[in-house]
Structure 1
């Protein structure tokens, strides 16, 4: 018989005071005695036939150590099973001993999944951007596509605004001598686009190919970067190539090249507009979701076991290291720790909202999800793979909880014109 008294240390840590009756311990002890008896041989006795008293005398310490270890494991397993406690990480045994009656008593602290008691998660006010896409903004985006498909021809003469130049750039010291390690070759600049330093760009206009020219840049005394304030940088510029860019006309030929699904120029413009609208709405939705999660985390304080945060971090770091094997793991762990803790808390908040509001995933929800998958093979994988199907159910429930929180928030739209 195992009895358990549970004390709550925090919302994710519990103290278990467990007592295992002597009657339940004796079978464990006897089992180990017989196990030892079968494996040892004493002089004058066949293997496995030595008297039990001799076994206990010679191997008593080993038997008692095993008995206690096995009994503790059995008692803890029964305690957590009977009381539906979900342990994370390793249990921390604070006290283990036999009392005068021969019962095994133990005090063990364990980390558990957080007990989340939500105080506030409805009625919060948020401002969400609503974008109005002006025709001029659509044209600007179309012009970017035109530039991607532009034709370039080498130009003669001096550099003009709107041209593309390729330069070599050597930084000089105050005496005009080249600075070692400060030469930059094959820099491509689109004159007038505003991506290059405007003060230097003005001095490149009017230069000729293959004629080294000295230019400079002076920083004001009140410049934000104090180490550069009041200083002057000197360069020698050599223009290696000058190109003129010719943008294609927006006609049916251009449309078919850029977007074969567009029926004509008008349809193409409409699709570009819808694409912009979709991208900005998605961005606004992501910002809102971030604000929503931050607000609910602030309003509902609880702890998450370190081991869960560390496990989450392990997966984050694994993903980053796959992209950048040279990344320092300790630096990554420190950088992502705060976000990882927030993500874990947001996960448990949504899980608790689902429980409190009886939000469930019905068969029809899964069927609707699967019907949207056009590829029959992929749909079949989901249907036949239980793990994949559980992921789908989790995703659906997550979306349902999110929608519930949105419906129970006070959202004011802020109109933003993109022109």
Structure 2
């Protein structure tokens, strides 16, 4: 077998492989003999079909199968011989395939890029500094109570935290716009669900009233055609409902899986969960900034094969998120929907791999155990959860991967520009929302 490799770009290679005709002919002959022993043809007893007949009937197809297999196997051997690691499966281009001649073909594939990491001290990270105060706990408990509240219709004027059922229709420049109308919409006044001024314009209205309010879309509104524009909404209030909050008792506590005897014990548990959420949010925000700094600060070619693989994973995830509501082949989803996210994910993965390789970063076993214990603490039987992870190598490997990522982030933070920013609890949690990719 003859092999030569040509570098056509930083990450693309063209590998030309030649295989002697004798090797192909022997493989074809062997396959035809196997076919002759098993094929059934009219006029011949099983296993007694002459080889010449088998060759005439099946020779072309058998040769095509054999050539495909030889190309694949030869490519794998050539990679080992030349010590080349591809980033994905190749594209084969046959050059000589005639019977009786040496087979010659080209395998075109990508390799992982050589990454020269940029100076980590240029990475800028904003780390939220916040704590869970008693007012934050009060607000969280109020939210939990409202989730379990009974609703009572009222005839009075509506006020903050009431739930109204409304119809509305919006106009910009005198024209109704897409997404600007709804019927039977339930809205908690003061929740900030709608654009500024909308909920405030309803406060004070009663059931049965028709209102007309004027508001302005925010400059950073997601629909650029509406951003910054004044709008008018016609609103009909159908009902105004007041939430009747449940008592803080054991029955209420149990609805949230909390085994507490009194309000003090419940508050302590709520605060503990909020502190866990805050730590996770800070960790997410820091990681997002690290990833952003690495991605923006390092420029290199990304193998298309890896991008395509990631797009396929994102397609699968999208279909699974819809569950039974979306009966479709993931491949029907346009690749363009996922391309940017896939590129970012692949680039982040390659950068993390390079940091791990250059700095010999490993997942600390003690931290893996701590992470498992932290996860287990949120379940009723922590010991069973810990035993599950320790007896399931695949599950434990996922935790090790998370700890390894955290170790990479810590390494970058040790050299990056980290600036703490004081925030309220809610701001810190919002800042730590996971970003796409």
Alignment TM-score, normalising by the size of structure 1: 0.70
Aligned to 1:118: 116
The aligned residue for residue 358 of structure 2 is 356
Q: State the Cα distance separating 1:339 from its structure 2 match.
A: 0.9
Distance 2:421 2:218 in 1: 36
Work out the CA distance in 1 between the residues paired with 2:56 and 2:150: 95
- Superposition pairs for residues 156-235 of structure 1, below 5 Å? 158-159=156-157, 161=159, 164=162, 166-167=164-165, 169=167, 186-188=184-186, 190=188, 197-198=198-199, 200-202=201-203, 204=205, 207=206, 212-218=208-214, 233-235=233-235
What is the rounded CA distance, in whole Å, between the counterparts of 1:6 and 1:121 in structure 2? Answer: 33
Count of paired positions: 389
SS state at 2:130 partner:
strand
Whether 1:32 aligns to 2:28 is yes
Partner of 2:83: 84
Could you tell me which residue of structure 2 aligns to residue 312 of structure 1?
310
Question: Which whole-Å deviations, capped at 9, do the CAs of 1:196-255 have from their partners, x for residues lacking one?
Answer: 724642451xx4x6xx54432346899997799677554555x55x55545567688976
Which structure: larger Rg? 1
Contact 1:132 1:415 in 2 (8 A): no
Mean alpha-carbon deviation: is it higher for 383-392 or for 364-373?
Answer: 364-373
Q: Distance in 2 between matches of 1:398 and 1:222?
A: 37
Are 1:296 and 2:303 counterparts? no
SS in 2 for 1:10: coil
- Counterparts of 1:18-417 in structure 2, within 5 Å, are 18-20=17-19, 22=20, 25-33=21-29, 36=32, 39=36, 72-87=71-86, 88-93=88-93, 95-96=95-96, 105-112=104-111, 114-120=112-118, 122-123=120-121, 124-150=123-149, 153=152, 155=154, 158-159=156-157, 161=159, 164=162, 166-167=164-165, 169=167, 186-188=184-186, 190=188, 197-198=198-199, 200-202=201-203, 204=205, 207=206, 212-218=208-214, 233-235=233-235, 237=237, 239-240=238-239, 243-247=241-245, 260-262=258-260, 264-324=262-322, 325-326=325-326, 333-361=335-363, 382=389, 385-417=392-424
Residues 4 and 323 of structure 1, relative CA distance in 2, 3 Å threshold: same
**Where in structure 1 are there 5+ consecutive unaligned residues?**
174-181
Q: Is the 8 A contact 1:116 1:348 kept in 2?
A: no
1:163-197 CA distance string (max 9 Å, x none): 84655647699xxxxxxxx9966554555666572
Structure-2 change in CA distance of 1:7 and 1:135 (3 Å):
same
Deviation at 1:322, TM superposition (A): 2.5
TM-score, with structure 2 as normaliser: 0.67
